[in-house]
Amino acid sequence: MKTAEKLAAGWLLTLGFMFLTLSATATLEKFAAREVYIPVQDGDTFTAPNATYEDNNTAVGGLIFGVPSLTLGGWLALGLYRQSRQDKKALNQQVSDRLQYIFYEMLQENHGRVTVLGFAMQSQLPAANARQYLDEKAKEFNANFKVNEEGAISYHFDV
């Protein structure tokens, strides 16, 4: 469904832009044709044949089809953008809730002691992201740190 909406928005934006460009070109040609002078053999000049009727129709037709197409395409594109932002926000919230649940569960099971490796294994996060998350929680809850002989950090939270 989203693919069809993306294609429709793209086509409508393209068509709207093309029609408005056609309208602008016809308008410019209409004004340029008024100022063209063609010399004749006996020294007189006359203006070019009046093509304003055709140019007017092209300009108006371009506006009639271009403005609604461009408006509808923009509206569809904006709706897709907003939906995408809402989906990303909901996904981020789900991830955040899942990490928080795993964190609190580990605190209860381990009596307030959490290691980066244990949290990374439980949450299936990369080690750097697990360490960053635990550092944030340690600041938030004023946790203590302990470093063992191998250099591994364990976080101790008061439960």
pLDDT at 83: 94
Q: Is the pLDDT of residue 53 over 80?
A: no
Which percentage of the chain shows pLDDT scores above 70? Answer: 86
- Note whether 102 and 123 are within 8 A (CB): yes
Domain ranges of the chain: 1-91, 110-159
Q: Is the pLDDT of residue 67 over 80?
A: yes
pLDDT at 48: 53
The mean of the pLDDT values for the chain is 85
- As a whole number of angstroms, the distance between CA 150 and CA 25 comes to 74
Average pLDDT over residues 128-132: 91
